[in-house]
Amino acid sequence: MDSTTSSPISIDAEQVQKESAELTILGAGAWGTALAQLVEKNDHTVCLWSRRTAMTLAKAVAGSHVILSAVSMKGVPAVAAQLKAAGIPRETILVTATKGLDPETTRTPSQIFQDTFPDNPVVVLSGPNLSKEIEQGLPSATVAASTHPEAAEAVQYLFASEIFRVYSSPDPLGAELGGTLKNIIAIAVGVCEGLALGSNARSALMTRALPEMMRIGTHLGGQADTFVGLSGLGDMLATCTSVLSRNYRVGYGLAQGKSLEQILEEIGSTAEGVNTTNVLIQIANREQIPAPISRQVYRLLNGKITAQEAVEALMERDLKAEACLLT
């Protein structure tokens, strides 16, 4: 990510606190809708756009200080291309709230946006944020991460309220990878729960998942500390312990003997962890990154092993000392 602190921004934190900002949210699913409600409660103007609306994307983003993408991973490249065609100003703040990896380029959403808009500030919004709980007005916290601190601060104040606490971070890639990789772990924990393996197994799995996330994330450029914060450990705990998590439900269903196709049909929406797992293993193979938990999830999702065999494969690994988080 190459955004610089010298890039201009369309609106800063002080302005956000004193006057109404213009925000466009791309993606009218559960997450985009929940974010729109948060911004509206802060008396800012929100345009919620999706492919199904009659309004063109170019018209939706015209005059926006901030453009937030909450589309699924598969839609990110197309949305970035459409925004480029719309000719958005270089001072417009671009925010990505999507968690995933592009199967074509193996890049994250923020990397795609930064490559497409090298002069615009890009902010990652990521944390333990189950959309249904936010819609219910339950308290939550998240992270606005950017290499452009003024843009991160503006987004921080844009969304912050008495029910939604927003922290800032200088590590957008780490924040994004934490939110992305935990979806794979949520599938694994869902399997653990579906097989009724108990609290001991679940706790061991989640504890060992953290160093795996950190190992992969730091190898790819994230900062280690980020993965023990809200966008890493915090997001993993929320996603791995709630039946509201679609990825958890995928793992649980697989452990019950259901096919992946049946599970996804029952969920009725995207479970980003499925695509993320497949792309991550491409990266792990290419970069020679050890990823034992993710690899067993990959084998399970692709019908190479059963849920029980995946558990057995992890339990039969060579014994080692728990000497370092990153081993």
Structural contact between residues 61 and 24, judged by C-beta atoms closer than 8 angstroms: yes
Strand 140-145 relative to strand 164-169: parallel, antiparallel, unpaired? parallel
Task: Identify the DSSP state of 137.
Answer: T
Dihedral of CA atoms 26, 29, 32, 38 in degrees, nearest 10, equals: 140
pTM, two decimal places: 0.93
Split at pLDDT 50, 70, 90, the class of 4 is very low
Split at pLDDT 50, 70, 90, the class of 322 is confident
State the Cα–Cα distance between residues 43 and 22, nearest whole angstrom: 10
State the Cα–Cα distance between residues 34 and 310, nearest whole angstrom: 36
Structural contact between residues 36 and 50, judged by C-beta atoms closer than 8 angstroms: no
Dihedral of CA atoms 222, 282, 122, 95 in degrees, nearest 10, equals: -110
Residue % of the chain over a pLDDT of 90: 91
Structural contact between residues 125 and 68, judged by C-beta atoms closer than 8 angstroms: yes
Question: What pLDDT is stored for residue 321 in this prediction?
Answer: 75
Question: What pLDDT is stored for residue 317 in this prediction?
Answer: 79
Residue % of the chain over a pLDDT of 70: 96
Helices (H), 136-257: 149-159, 172-194, 199-219, 235-240, 246-255
Split at pLDDT 50, 70, 90, the class of 325 is low
Which residue's entry shows tokens 């599938």?
187
Question: What pLDDT is stored for residue 315 in this prediction?
Answer: 86
Known active-site residue 132: no
Question: What pLDDT is stored for residue 86 in this prediction?
Answer: 95
Q: Which of 99, 182, 258, 320 is catalytic?
A: 182
Split at pLDDT 50, 70, 90, the class of 2 is very low
Structural contact between residues 99 and 17, judged by C-beta atoms closer than 8 angstroms: no
> Two tokens at 153?
């601060």
Q: How many CB atoms lie within 10 A of CB 270?
A: 18
Phi/psi at 104 (5° precision): -80, -45
Question: What pLDDT is stored for residue 320 in this prediction?
Answer: 76
On the 0-12 / 13-18 / 19+ scale of CB atoms within 10 A, 204 is middle
pLDDT in tens, 301-312: 999 999 999 999
Is 237 or 321 the better-scoring residue by pLDDT?
237
Report the length, in residues, of the chain.
327
Tell me: pLDDT of 103 over 90: yes
Residue 164 β-bridge partners: 140
Taking the domain 174-315, which CATH number applies? 1.10.1040.10
C-alpha distances in Å from residue 298, one per residue of 188, 190, 263, 295: 10, 14, 16, 5
Task: Identify the DSSP state of 75.
Answer: G
Question: What pLDDT is stored for residue 5 in this prediction?
Answer: 47
pLDDT in tens, 45-100: 999 999 999 999 999 999 999 999 999 999 999 999 999 999 999 999 999 999 99
Domains of the chain, residue spans: 13-170, 174-315
State the Cα–Cα distance between residues 171 and 116, nearest whole angstrom: 19
Residue 123 β-bridge partners: 95
C-alpha distances in Å from residue 251, one per residue of 113, 151, 200, 204: 31, 37, 18, 17
pLDDT in tens, 168-211: 999 999 999 999 999 999 999 999 999 999 999 999 999 999 99
Gyration radius (Cα) of the chain, Å: 19
DSSP string over 149-161: HHHHHHHHHHH--
Average pLDDT, the chain: 94
State the Cα–Cα distance between residues 85 and 79, nearest whole angstrom: 10
Tell me: pLDDT of 6 over 80: no
Q: What is the mean pLDDT of residues 30-57?
A: 95
Structural contact between residues 231 and 179, judged by C-beta atoms closer than 8 angstroms: yes
Question: What pLDDT is stored for residue 319 in this prediction?
Answer: 74
Task: Identify the DSSP state of 257.
Answer: T
Taking the domain 13-170, which CATH number applies? 3.40.50.720
Strand 93-96 relative to strand 45-49: parallel, antiparallel, unpaired? unpaired
Question: What pLDDT is stored for residue 7 in this prediction?
Answer: 66
Q: What is the mean pLDDT of residues 252-270?
A: 94
